[in-house]
């Protein structure tokens, strides 16, 4: 009896504990979490360990980066001591892929390339059938050996940086052959693509890439940086004007209209900012895309020498009551900080929530995060309280609208049945913003939360349409009624005693 009880208890406990751990996001969108391996070497407290990953917040984990050997045309580790277990290494590959044991929803893939791997080695390998054969064989062997679930190719960029014009076609051939080789293994094949019109039109045959790739990650940032010698939003949501092509919305529209399926397109979101030093420190008002800057920015205290400021550096700085003054740029929907001549243009929970809304409006597959090690993964910073400002504003604009108010009144003056409909509508017409009770991963958690809230907002918009339709039908009815009837019925519904 005692034995039975304890067995029962331990089974229940196992199910309970196990059940609370094995699940991923429920909203059906992908959350592709990049981990930058070099983040493990950052100074504490921002040194990132694989044990800092919260697998419930990701559907895919992508390890960056593996390299391409220019002599043998094979995939290789860029840091054996870190990646590989053998010879008392740090076993990053094994630690990552072991996550799947407790979290079976997770796919762990390996990203090949990145800015520092350049373009030339890819160009050479992709241009020759036998080099591609060697490469592809090395990749499948590598993925099998280290238990990955697929490959991400981050070739920056075909036809550019020393590449050849043939890269556009050869890239498709490479992707097609990789996909064919992956089929027996069920491996995922993704590629991370650039975002400017120049890169998108020159480097990619999007229709063909879309045929063979499982997921297409598009970089939704790096639109502006100190290299332009002008201050700009690092990841603007929308353009400054109709002709502006340097923004997330333009990139999404371009990708979709040139053959990428929305259910394969994954919007990349940065967890970092770009820095600028003003040419004239006396400038009073910063005008994105006009105010002049030096060609080099500056670096956060932990991301040394990169002209970048990670989100976790920004939030630590803000927590430390530094001299930063916070601004919100409405047009680009991004925050920036200023301290004298220094500017950081970055993304926070509010700008990220707005990006989620946009991507949801285009019904994209989900989100790619570069990179989760730059979130406040330990939860040491304060939570922003303005994340859904723009959501709340949109919904309250709807309910302030004259048409809306008339229609509500009108519905109230209709028969019981419609009154009941309005009753249920009224319950729906409140945008429920969950209370912030999380501490760590504020940005990553915002992505998931904003997906759910966007769905809620859409329900409100749909309810609005229903009400407007009722108004149109209702006003037809009231036109045939005398003014007296209207007044009477309104008093009947609103008047004392009811």
Ligand X SMILES: *[C@@H]1O[C@H](CO)[C@@H](O)[C@H](O)[C@H]1NC(C)=O
Residues that bind ligand X (CB under 6 A): 40, 43, 49-50, 90-92, 95, 301, 304-305, 313, 316-317, 320, 385
| Residue nearer to ligand X on the CB measure, 92 or 372 | 92
Q: Can you tell me the distance from the alpha carbon of 179 to that of 199, in angstroms, rounded to the nearest whole number? A: 23
| C-beta closer to ligand X: residue 320 or 475 | 320
Alpha-carbon distance of 273 to 330, in angstroms, equals: 17
- Collapsed DSSP state (helix, strand, coil) of residue 271: coil
Nearer to ligand X, 126 or 310 (CB): 310
CB of 440 to ligand X, least distance (A): 17
Query: Regarding beta strands 107-113 and 60-68, do their DSSP bridges make them parallel or antiparallel, or are they unpaired?
Result: parallel
**Mutual orientation of helices 442-479 and 416-428 as an angle, nearest 10°?**
160
Nearest-approach distance from CB 293 to ligand X, in angstroms: 22
Beta strands in 125-198 (DSSP E): 150-154, 188-193
Min dist CB 257 to ligand X, Å, is 40
CB of 384 to ligand X, least distance (A): 7
Identity of the residue, 153 or 316, whose beta carbon is nearer to ligand X in the bound complex: 316
- Quote the tokens at residue 56: 């419930």
* CB of residue 187 to ligand X, shortest distance in Å: 23
Q: How far is the CB of 392 from ligand X (least distance, A)?
A: 11
- Smallest CA-to-CA distance from 107 within 36, 176, 189 is with 189
Name which of 160 and 392 has its Cβ closer to ligand X.
392
Distance CA 163, CA 184 (A): 31
Nearer to ligand X, 89 or 259 (CB): 89
CA 393 to chain centre: 22
Residues 244 and 238: their CA atoms lie apart, in Å, by 8
User: Taking a C-beta distance cutoff of 8 angstroms, is the pair 345, 286 a contact?
Assistant: no
Q: Cα separation of 30 and 363, whole Å?
A: 12
Residues 6+ apart with CB under 8 A from 87: 80
Cβ distance to ligand X smaller for residue 330 or 435: 435
CB of 242 to ligand X, least distance (A): 35
């Amino acid at each position: 009896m005692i034995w039975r009880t304890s067995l029962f208890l331990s089974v229940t406990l196992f199910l309970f504990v196990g059940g609370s751990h094995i699940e991923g996001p429920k909203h059906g969108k992908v959350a592709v979490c990049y981990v930058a391996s070099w983040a493990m070497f950052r100074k504490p407290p921002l040194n990132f360990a694989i044990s800092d990953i919260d697998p419930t917040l990701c559907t895919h984990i992508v390890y960056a980066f593996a390299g391409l050997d220019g002599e043998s045309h094979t995939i290789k580790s860029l840091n054996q001591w870190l990646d590989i277990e053998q010879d008392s290494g740090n076993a990053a590959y094994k630690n990552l892929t072991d996550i799947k044991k407790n979290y079976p929803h997770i796919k762990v893939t390996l990203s090949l390339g990145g800015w520092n791997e350049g373009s030339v080695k890819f160009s050479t390998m992709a241009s020759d059938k036998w080099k591609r054969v060697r490469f592809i064989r090395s990749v499948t062997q590598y993925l099998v050996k280290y238990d990955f679930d697929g490959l991400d190719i981050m070739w920056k960029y075909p036809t550019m940086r020393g590449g050849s014009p043939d890269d556009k076609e050869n890239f498709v051939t490479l992707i097609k052959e990789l996909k064919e080789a992956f089929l027996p293994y069920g491996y995922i094949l993704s590629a991370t693509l650039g975002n400017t019109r120049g890169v998108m039109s020159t480097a990619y045959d999007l229709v063909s890439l879309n045929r063979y790739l499982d997921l297409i990650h598009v970089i939704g940032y790096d639109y502006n940086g100190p290299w332009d010698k002008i201050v700009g939003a690092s990841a603007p949501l929308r353009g400054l004007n109709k002709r502006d092509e340097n923004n997330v919305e333009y990139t999404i529209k371009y990708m979709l209209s040139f053959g990428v399926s929305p259910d394969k397109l994954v919007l990349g979101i940065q967890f970092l900012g770009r820095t600028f030093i003003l040419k004239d420190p006396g400038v009073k008002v910063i005008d994105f895309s006009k105010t002049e800057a030096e060609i080099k920015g500056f670096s956060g205290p932990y991301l040394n020498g990169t002209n970048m400021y990670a989100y976790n550096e920004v939030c630590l700085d803000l927590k430390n009551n530094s001299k930063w003054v916070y601004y919100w740029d409405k047009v680009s929907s991004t925050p920036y900080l200023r301290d004298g001549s220094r500017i950081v243009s970055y993304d926070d929970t509010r700008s990220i929530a707005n990006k989620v809304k946009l991507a949801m409006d285009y019904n994209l597959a989900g989100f790619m995060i570069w990179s989760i090690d730059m979130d406040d993964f330990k939860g040491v910073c304060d939570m922003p309280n303005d994340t859904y400002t723009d959501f709340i504003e949109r919904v309250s604009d709807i309910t302030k609208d004259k048409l809306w108010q008339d229609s509500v009144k009108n519905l109230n003056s209709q028969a019981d049945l419609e009154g009941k409909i309005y009753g249920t509508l009224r319950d729906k017409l409140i945008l429920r913003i969950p209370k912030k009770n999380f501490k760590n991963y504020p940005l990553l958690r915002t992505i998931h939360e904003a997906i759910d809230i966007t769905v809620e907002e859409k329900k409100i918009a749909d309810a609005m349409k229903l009400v407007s339709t009722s108004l149109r039908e209702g006003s037809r009815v009231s036109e045939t009624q005398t003014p007296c009837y209207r007044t009477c019925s309104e008093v009947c519904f609103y008047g004392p005693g009811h």
